[in-house]
Each structure stands twice: as structure tokens, then as C-alpha cells.
A and B are shown apart, each in its own frame.
Chain A
Amino acid sequence: MIAEAGLKVEVQLFGRYRELAEGASIALELPAGATVADLVGELHRRSPGRLPARPVVVVERRPAAYDVALEAGHEIALIPPVAGG
């Protein structure tokens, strides 16, 4: 298999963040080895002023620390503070 230059990820959007894109997710290409912080940086570049400084990113169904390295195939989501009940 040929090594990919970048890391392609799909970020699922929920709650008010659904309004950041037409569909329910955003497809991004990040540098290989990108972290959650890099992902958030890219989202800020794409949607300036529409996200808090440090939104919660969920990787594999758990809130992730910003230094976590993303991998191809990770389930990734951007979630606002929850508001159930």
C-alpha cells in the first residue's frame, strides 16, 4: 500500500455545530500525525468565529485530549455541551 501524504478524516457534527456544514459531517485532510489540536485549528480556519476556542472533540466515542494523535479510521465528532433531560 502506498503511504498517504495526508490524513483524511470525517468529523461528525451534532447540535448547533450541525450548522457549520451542509451535511452532518465535514471531510478534512490533515497532515499525517495530526492531533486533535490540529483538527480544531483547521476547523477554526474554515469557520472563523463560529466555534469556541477549545470545543470538545470526541474520538472513538470518548471526549479526547488535545494532544491525542488522530488515525485513519477513527470515529471523530465535534460536540457542543450536552443538553439532555
Chain B
Amino acid sequence: MTADVAAGSGGDVVGLSAEPISVAALAERVPPGSGAVATFEGRVRDTNEGRKVTRLHYDAYPAMADRVFADILRRTRRTHPVTAVRVLHRTGTLEVGETAVAIVVAAGHRDEAFAAASFVIEAVKAELPVWKREEYEDGSSRWLGGEPVEDDAREGAG
């Protein structure tokens, strides 16, 4: 899979990326009315639930992700006065410390930028069809979320 990035109005960008993500690059060239730019990065942590994590694998459903990203973008713009919304989520294998998700929200003022960035990451975690498998120091691995007893696509993990 290659980077699947769709540029929209106002310099909006959403998509999955099979390549490493740079939040700094994502934050370049926002519209001139942007007095505030809030950025968020979710990175691979070296421990989870007491176990030593060595890497993560992200699986994704790209066609549905396109639909969900478009929904999130539309809702963000409807509910928050922002000048740009950019979201990239990695797929494939990531080492500890790598960026799994990057969000850039530009707005006129900081309160709007922070609020919209928070809205976007919560929506991504609850809705974007991606799944992570953690690999541990001892060579074992495990899918997160999707426990057989669960019955709710809207439930995120991690």
C-alpha cells in the first residue's frame, strides 16, 4: 500500500500512509488566517498493560477508511471554526517511537485549534477502521481490541 492522501478544500488532508509520517511536514503551508496550529502525534509506546512492546503492525480497510475520514472531516468543519484539518494514520509495521497518527488543526485562535484537534483524535480512535497487533519482547504478538466477547465497532482500544 502506498500513501493514500486526498487533499481537499482549505488545504485539508486525510488518509492512510504506508510511509513514515512527519507532523512537521503536515503542518506546513496552512492558510494565512491561521493564528494557531495545534498538532498531535500518537506514537508507538514501548510498554502496554505491563508488557514490553517491540513493534506494532497496523492493518486497515482503506476503502472504508476513506469514507470515515471524509465523515470526520465534514463533522469537524461543521462543528469547529478551523482553517485546515489534516490527519494521517500509518499502516504496516512501526517501531517503538514511530508516529502512528498525526493530526494538524489550524484555526484563528488557540482554543478552537485545541478543541478541534481533540475532537479529531477521539473520532479517529472511535471510528477509523484500523487494527493494531502488538509484538512483544518474547516474540509473541496479540491483536488489540476485537476481543471475541466484544460487540461494538465503535469501541476503540489503546
Could you list which residues of chain A lie within 8 angstroms of chain B, going by C-beta atoms? 12, 14-18, 50-56, 58, 61-63, 75, 77, 79-85
Contact = CB atoms under 8 A, between A and B. Distances in A.
**Chain A at the B interface: SS class:** loop
A77 B148 contact: no
Contacts of A62: 64, 67
Nearest to B42: A85
Nearest to B58: A84
B46 interface: no
Give the residue among A12, A81, A83 with the most B Cβ atoms within 10 A: A83
Interface of B: 42, 58-61, 63-64, 66-67, 89, 100-101, 121, 124-133, 143-158
B125 A81 contact: no
A52 B149 CA distance: 5
Nearest to A24: B59
Contact of B145 (A51, A77, A82): A82
Contacts of B89: 84-85
Contact of B61 (A14, A50, A52): A14
B118 to A, nearest CB: 12
A56 B148 CA distance: 11
Given A52-B150, A84-B156, A85-B158, A14 B143 contact: no
A78 to B, nearest CB: 10
B101 A85 contact: yes
Nearest to A14: B61
A15 B131 contact: yes
A77 B60 CA distance: 12
Given A15-B131, A15-B143, A16-B143, A81 B63 contact: no
B63 to A, nearest CB: 6
A81 B129 contact: no
B142 to A, nearest CB: 9
A53 B156 contact: no
B145 A80 contact: yes
Contacts of B133: 15-16
